[in-house]
Amino acid sequence: MSRHSERHYAERIGWLRAAVLGANDGIVSTASLIVGVAAATAARGDVLIAGMAGLVAGAMSMAAGEYVSVSSQADTEKADLARERQELQTDAAHELQELTDIYISRGLEPALAQQVAAQLTAHDALSTHAREELGLTEIHAARPIQAAVASAVTFAVGAALPLILVLIASPSLIIPVVAGGSLLFLALLGGMAARAGGANVLTGAGRVTLWGVLAMAATALVGAIFGTVA
Protein backbone atom coordinates (compact mmCIF):
# COMPACT_ATOMS: atom_id res chain seq x y z
CA MET A 1 0.00 0.00 0.00
CA SER A 2 1.50 3.34 -1.06
CA ARG A 3 2.01 6.05 1.49
CA HIS A 4 -0.02 9.19 0.92
CA SER A 5 1.97 12.41 1.09
CA GLU A 6 0.88 16.00 0.85
CA ARG A 7 2.80 19.14 -0.02
CA HIS A 8 1.98 22.10 2.17
CA TYR A 9 2.68 25.78 1.64
CA ALA A 10 4.57 25.89 4.94
CA GLU A 11 7.21 23.58 3.47
CA ARG A 12 8.22 26.38 1.11
CA ILE A 13 8.69 29.06 3.76
CA GLY A 14 12.46 28.68 4.15
CA TRP A 15 13.58 28.99 0.54
CA LEU A 16 10.61 31.11 -0.55
CA ARG A 17 11.33 33.82 2.00
CA ALA A 18 15.00 34.07 1.07
CA ALA A 19 14.34 33.93 -2.68
CA VAL A 20 11.59 36.55 -2.67
CA LEU A 21 13.51 38.84 -0.34
CA GLY A 22 16.64 38.55 -2.49
CA ALA A 23 14.95 39.17 -5.84
CA ASN A 24 12.79 41.96 -4.47
CA ASP A 25 15.79 43.74 -2.95
CA GLY A 26 17.79 43.21 -6.12
CA ILE A 27 15.18 44.92 -8.27
CA VAL A 28 14.29 47.71 -5.85
CA SER A 29 17.80 48.68 -4.74
CA THR A 30 19.42 48.45 -8.19
CA ALA A 31 16.56 50.15 -10.02
CA SER A 32 16.48 52.89 -7.39
CA LEU A 33 20.24 53.33 -7.64
CA ILE A 34 20.04 53.53 -11.44
CA VAL A 35 17.17 56.02 -11.35
CA GLY A 36 18.97 58.15 -8.78
CA VAL A 37 22.23 58.24 -10.76
CA ALA A 38 20.41 58.83 -14.04
CA ALA A 39 18.44 61.68 -12.44
CA ALA A 40 21.78 63.33 -11.70
CA THR A 41 22.28 63.50 -15.50
CA ALA A 42 25.01 60.85 -15.49
CA ALA A 43 26.12 59.15 -18.70
CA ARG A 44 24.94 55.64 -19.55
CA GLY A 45 28.37 54.20 -18.71
CA ASP A 46 28.32 55.77 -15.24
CA VAL A 47 24.81 54.44 -14.67
CA LEU A 48 25.89 50.93 -15.65
CA ILE A 49 28.97 51.06 -13.41
CA ALA A 50 26.86 52.18 -10.47
CA GLY A 51 24.31 49.45 -11.19
CA MET A 52 26.93 46.70 -11.46
CA ALA A 53 28.58 47.85 -8.23
CA GLY A 54 25.18 47.77 -6.57
CA LEU A 55 24.55 44.24 -7.87
CA VAL A 56 27.82 42.81 -6.54
CA ALA A 57 27.73 44.64 -3.22
CA GLY A 58 24.06 43.87 -2.68
CA ALA A 59 24.40 40.16 -3.46
CA MET A 60 27.29 39.79 -1.03
CA SER A 61 25.49 41.81 1.61
CA MET A 62 22.33 39.72 1.26
CA ALA A 63 24.30 36.48 1.51
CA ALA A 64 26.20 37.64 4.59
CA GLY A 65 23.09 39.02 6.26
CA GLU A 66 21.02 35.90 5.67
CA TYR A 67 23.83 33.59 6.76
CA VAL A 68 24.43 35.47 10.01
CA SER A 69 20.74 35.83 10.77
CA VAL A 70 19.77 32.22 10.04
CA SER A 71 22.93 30.92 11.76
CA SER A 72 21.87 32.76 14.91
CA GLN A 73 18.47 31.13 14.63
CA ALA A 74 20.12 27.72 14.16
CA ASP A 75 22.35 28.30 17.21
CA THR A 76 19.30 29.15 19.30
CA GLU A 77 17.50 26.02 18.12
CA LYS A 78 20.53 23.86 18.95
CA ALA A 79 20.77 25.38 22.42
CA ASP A 80 17.07 24.75 23.06
CA LEU A 81 17.38 21.14 21.89
CA ALA A 82 20.44 20.58 24.07
CA ARG A 83 18.61 21.88 27.11
CA GLU A 84 15.56 19.75 26.30
CA ARG A 85 17.77 16.68 25.89
CA GLN A 86 19.33 17.34 29.28
CA GLU A 87 15.94 17.76 30.95
CA LEU A 88 14.73 14.49 29.44
CA GLN A 89 17.74 12.72 30.94
CA THR A 90 17.55 14.29 34.38
CA ASP A 91 13.80 14.71 34.96
CA ALA A 92 11.90 12.41 32.61
CA ALA A 93 8.79 12.28 34.82
CA HIS A 94 8.38 16.05 34.81
CA GLU A 95 8.86 16.19 31.05
CA LEU A 96 6.24 13.49 30.55
CA GLN A 97 3.78 15.42 32.70
CA GLU A 98 4.60 18.60 30.80
CA LEU A 99 3.79 16.86 27.53
CA THR A 100 0.59 15.44 29.00
CA ASP A 101 -0.52 18.91 30.10
CA ILE A 102 0.07 20.23 26.58
CA TYR A 103 -2.26 17.61 25.11
CA ILE A 104 -4.87 18.24 27.80
CA SER A 105 -4.78 21.97 26.96
CA ARG A 106 -5.46 21.04 23.35
CA GLY A 107 -8.63 19.17 24.22
CA LEU A 108 -7.68 15.57 25.01
CA GLU A 109 -9.07 13.79 28.06
CA PRO A 110 -6.41 13.43 30.79
CA ALA A 111 -6.18 9.66 30.48
CA LEU A 112 -5.85 9.80 26.71
CA ALA A 113 -3.41 12.71 26.89
CA GLN A 114 -1.20 10.71 29.25
CA GLN A 115 -1.35 7.67 26.98
CA VAL A 116 -0.46 9.71 23.88
CA ALA A 117 2.37 11.46 25.71
CA ALA A 118 3.78 8.15 26.93
CA GLN A 119 3.66 6.51 23.51
CA LEU A 120 5.23 9.48 21.70
CA THR A 121 7.91 9.76 24.35
CA ALA A 122 8.75 6.10 23.92
CA HIS A 123 8.90 6.54 20.15
CA ASP A 124 11.07 9.71 20.02
CA ALA A 125 11.07 11.84 23.13
CA LEU A 126 13.35 14.63 21.89
CA SER A 127 11.56 15.17 18.57
CA THR A 128 8.20 15.14 20.32
CA HIS A 129 9.23 17.77 22.87
CA ALA A 130 10.96 19.84 20.20
CA ARG A 131 7.75 19.90 18.18
CA GLU A 132 5.22 20.32 21.00
CA GLU A 133 7.16 22.53 23.44
CA LEU A 134 9.52 24.48 21.22
CA GLY A 135 7.59 24.50 17.95
CA LEU A 136 10.60 23.16 16.05
CA THR A 137 9.96 20.96 13.02
CA GLU A 138 11.98 19.82 10.03
CA ILE A 139 9.92 22.09 7.78
CA HIS A 140 10.91 25.22 9.69
CA ALA A 141 14.48 24.21 10.54
CA ALA A 142 17.06 26.95 10.01
CA ARG A 143 19.38 26.34 7.05
CA PRO A 144 21.99 29.15 6.89
CA ILE A 145 23.83 28.11 3.74
CA GLN A 146 20.64 27.50 1.79
CA ALA A 147 19.29 30.91 2.82
CA ALA A 148 22.57 32.68 1.99
CA VAL A 149 22.92 31.13 -1.47
CA ALA A 150 19.25 31.68 -2.33
CA SER A 151 19.43 35.33 -1.27
CA ALA A 152 22.65 36.07 -3.18
CA VAL A 153 21.57 34.35 -6.39
CA THR A 154 18.08 35.80 -6.45
CA PHE A 155 19.38 39.28 -5.59
CA ALA A 156 21.79 39.08 -8.55
CA VAL A 157 19.00 37.90 -10.86
CA GLY A 158 16.69 40.65 -9.67
CA ALA A 159 19.42 43.31 -9.97
CA ALA A 160 20.26 42.17 -13.50
CA LEU A 161 16.77 43.03 -14.75
CA PRO A 162 17.02 46.84 -14.43
CA LEU A 163 20.59 46.69 -15.75
CA ILE A 164 19.31 45.00 -18.92
CA LEU A 165 16.75 47.77 -19.25
CA VAL A 166 19.56 50.35 -19.09
CA LEU A 167 21.30 48.61 -21.99
CA ILE A 168 18.25 48.52 -24.26
CA ALA A 169 16.82 51.97 -23.42
CA SER A 170 17.90 55.13 -25.19
CA PRO A 171 19.85 57.53 -22.90
CA SER A 172 16.96 59.98 -22.68
CA LEU A 173 14.50 57.26 -21.63
CA ILE A 174 16.57 55.40 -19.03
CA ILE A 175 14.56 56.67 -16.07
CA PRO A 176 11.03 55.88 -17.35
CA VAL A 177 12.07 52.58 -18.93
CA VAL A 178 13.92 51.33 -15.83
CA ALA A 179 11.24 52.59 -13.45
CA GLY A 180 8.33 51.18 -15.45
CA GLY A 181 10.02 47.88 -16.26
CA SER A 182 11.21 47.36 -12.71
CA LEU A 183 7.75 48.02 -11.30
CA LEU A 184 6.36 45.45 -13.72
CA PHE A 185 9.00 42.94 -12.58
CA LEU A 186 8.15 43.68 -8.95
CA ALA A 187 4.44 43.16 -9.55
CA LEU A 188 5.09 39.83 -11.29
CA LEU A 189 7.45 38.73 -8.52
CA GLY A 190 5.03 39.69 -5.78
CA GLY A 191 2.19 37.89 -7.51
CA MET A 192 4.24 34.74 -8.12
CA ALA A 193 5.47 34.69 -4.52
CA ALA A 194 1.95 35.12 -3.20
CA ARG A 195 0.67 32.31 -5.41
CA ALA A 196 3.49 29.98 -4.34
CA GLY A 197 2.73 30.74 -0.71
CA GLY A 198 -1.04 30.39 -1.07
CA ALA A 199 -1.73 34.10 -0.45
CA ASN A 200 -3.75 36.65 -2.41
CA VAL A 201 -1.96 37.43 -5.69
CA LEU A 202 -3.15 41.03 -6.02
CA THR A 203 -2.18 41.85 -2.46
CA GLY A 204 1.27 40.33 -2.93
CA ALA A 205 1.83 42.23 -6.17
CA GLY A 206 0.48 45.50 -4.81
CA ARG A 207 2.59 45.77 -1.69
CA VAL A 208 5.96 45.17 -3.37
CA THR A 209 5.05 47.56 -6.19
CA LEU A 210 4.12 50.29 -3.72
CA TRP A 211 7.45 50.09 -1.93
CA GLY A 212 9.25 50.04 -5.26
CA VAL A 213 7.53 53.28 -6.28
CA LEU A 214 8.48 54.94 -3.00
CA ALA A 215 12.11 53.82 -3.21
CA MET A 216 12.61 54.97 -6.79
CA ALA A 217 10.84 58.27 -6.17
CA ALA A 218 13.09 58.98 -3.20
CA THR A 219 16.33 58.21 -5.03
CA ALA A 220 15.23 60.13 -8.11
CA LEU A 221 14.62 63.17 -5.92
CA VAL A 222 18.02 62.82 -4.27
CA GLY A 223 19.74 62.36 -7.63
CA ALA A 224 18.01 65.39 -9.11
CA ILE A 225 18.93 67.58 -6.12
CA PHE A 226 22.57 66.58 -5.90
CA GLY A 227 22.95 66.47 -9.67
CA THR A 228 21.88 70.10 -9.81
CA VAL A 229 24.20 71.06 -6.96
CA ALA A 230 27.13 69.29 -8.60
pLDDT for the residue 15: 55
Judged against a pLDDT cut of 80, whether residue 45 lies above it is answered with: yes
Mean pLDDT of the chain: 82
End-to-end CA distance of the chain: 75
Judged against a pLDDT cut of 50, whether residue 132 lies above it is answered with: yes
Judged against a pLDDT cut of 70, whether residue 228 lies above it is answered with: no
Query: Rounded to an integer, what distance in angstroms lies between the CA atom of residue 134 and that of residue 128?
Result: 9
pLDDT-based confidence at 176, cuts 50/70/90?
Answer: very high
Lowest-confidence region among 7-11, 23-27, 53-57: 7-11
Judged against a pLDDT cut of 60, whether residue 127 lies above it is answered with: yes
Judged against a pLDDT cut of 50, whether residue 212 lies above it is answered with: yes
Query: Rounded to an integer, what distance in angstroms lies between the CA atom of residue 104 and that of residue 132?
Result: 12
Contacts of 201-208 with CB under 8 Å at 24 or more apart are 208/24
pLDDT for the residue 9: 46
pLDDT for the residue 155: 92
- Share of residues in the chain with pLDDT > 70 (%): 86
